[in-house]
């Protein structure tokens, strides 16, 4: 009897140009740098994550099919339904990337950056990239990386600390805070840079705390 094969695993351990290009494409899409570009470069916004997930239609002038004025379990259910397409799309893209070995490219390229950001291996690079836009996708990829043994328990704790503070910063900043950009007295990237810096400080503080506790 032929042995069953796991078609969900990466094809092989080799990393080529295709993996690096896919990693760059995913990083650009999830980073938000392609969102709402000037008209001259507007075509590039087609691969931006926010553009790809789209938006719901409106019913009687409300923001979306969720409506307004709801509360309780029903409103919570509608909110969960509203974010399902976003999470499903993100997980689908990242699972496809995982299958084609992008995580291997991320481990090679992003390890120095990840060590600086939160002190973990670049093997969790896709989790960091995903968490910039979708908290649930970042959490799922963090769990997957830990279950596969690519990150340690200590690294998982630091990674969770980075994701938990100011979760999904790009999505929340450019979607929820953008109406207030016109009153900013500093460039719009400055507050975002402060948020990301504080996330890094929190992750390193958590990592150091765990190390001190384990040494006792």
Is the model's pLDDT at 203 over the cut of 70?
yes
pLDDT band at 193 (very low <50, low <70, confident <90, very high): very high
Q: 167: closest CA among 143, 147, 138? A: 138
The answer to whether residue 143 is domain-embedded is yes
Query: For residues 23 and 98, is the Cβ–Cβ distance under 8 A?
Result: no
pLDDT band at 2 (very low <50, low <70, confident <90, very high): very low
User: What pTM does this model have?
Assistant: 0.73
The answer to whether residue 67 is domain-embedded is no
| Percent of the chain at pLDDT exceeding 70 | 90
Q: What angle do CA 50, 108, 9 make, to 5 degrees?
A: 70
- Number of domains into which the chain is organized: 1
pLDDT digits (tens, 9 = 90+) for 86-130: 888 888 888 888 888 888 888 888 888 888 888 888 888 888 888
Q: According to the model, what pLDDT value does residue 7 have?
A: 46
Q: 35: closest CA among 155, 133, 168? A: 133
Query: For residues 70 and 113, is the Cβ–Cβ distance under 8 A?
Result: no
The Cα–Cα gap between 129 and 134 comes to: 9
Query: For residues 10 and 103, is the Cβ–Cβ distance under 8 A?
Result: yes
The Cα–Cα gap between 216 and 213 comes to: 5
pLDDT band at 64 (very low <50, low <70, confident <90, very high): low
The answer to whether residue 109 is domain-embedded is yes
In whole angstroms, what separates CA 59 from the centre of its chain?
30
The Cα–Cα gap between 122 and 27 comes to: 13
The answer to whether residue 62 is domain-embedded is no
Q: According to the model, what pLDDT value does residue 13 have?
A: 64
Q: According to the model, what pLDDT value does residue 157 have?
A: 93
Q: According to the model, what pLDDT value does residue 62 have?
A: 62
The answer to whether residue 106 is domain-embedded is yes
Query: For residues 106 and 23, is the Cβ–Cβ distance under 8 A?
Result: yes
The answer to whether residue 175 is domain-embedded is yes
Query: For residues 36 and 45, is the Cβ–Cβ distance under 8 A?
Result: yes
The Cα–Cα gap between 61 and 64 comes to: 8
Q: According to the model, what pLDDT value does residue 144 have?
A: 85
Q: Which domain holds residue 172?
A: 17-54+85-215
Q: 124: closest CA among 141, 140, 109? A: 141
Q: According to the model, what pLDDT value does residue 47 have?
A: 86
The answer to whether residue 60 is domain-embedded is no
The answer to whether residue 118 is domain-embedded is yes
The contacts of residue 188 (CB under 8 Å, 6+ apart) are 181
Q: According to the model, what pLDDT value does residue 63 have?
A: 64
pLDDT digits (tens, 9 = 90+) for 10-63: 445 677 888 899 899 988 888 878 877 888 888 888 888 888 888 777 766 666
Query: For residues 205 and 118, is the Cβ–Cβ distance under 8 A?
Result: no
Q: What is the mean pLDDT of the chain?
A: 83
Q: According to the model, what pLDDT value does residue 8 have?
A: 46
């Amino acid at each position: 009897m032929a042995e069953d094969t796991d078609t969900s695993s990466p094809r092989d351990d080799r990393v080529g140009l295709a993996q690096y290009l896919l990693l760059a494409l995913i990083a650009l899409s999830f980073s938000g740098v392609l969102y709402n570009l000037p008209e001259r470069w507007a075509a590039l916004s087609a691969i931006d994550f926010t553009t790809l997930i789209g938006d719901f239609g409106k019913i009687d002038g409300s923001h979306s099919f969720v409506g307004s004025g709801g509360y309780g379990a029903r409103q919570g259910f509608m909110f969960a339904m509203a974010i399902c397409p976003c999470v499903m799309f993100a997980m689908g893209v990242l699972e496809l990337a995982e299958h084609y070995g992008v995580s291997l490219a991320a481990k090679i390229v992003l390890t120095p950056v990840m060590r600086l950001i939160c002190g973990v291996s670049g093997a969790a690079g896709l989790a960091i990239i995903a968490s910039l836009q979708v908290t649930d996708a970042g959490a799922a990829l963090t769990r997957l990386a830990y279950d596969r043994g690519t990150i340690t328990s200590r690294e998982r704790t630091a990674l969770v600390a980075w994701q938990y503070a100011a979760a999904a910063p790009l999505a929340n900043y450019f979607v929820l805070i953008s109406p207030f950009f016109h009153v900013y007295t500093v460039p719009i990237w400055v507050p975002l840079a402060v948020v990301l810096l504080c996330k890094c400080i929190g992750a390193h503080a958590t990592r150091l705390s765990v190390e001190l506790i384990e040494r006792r």
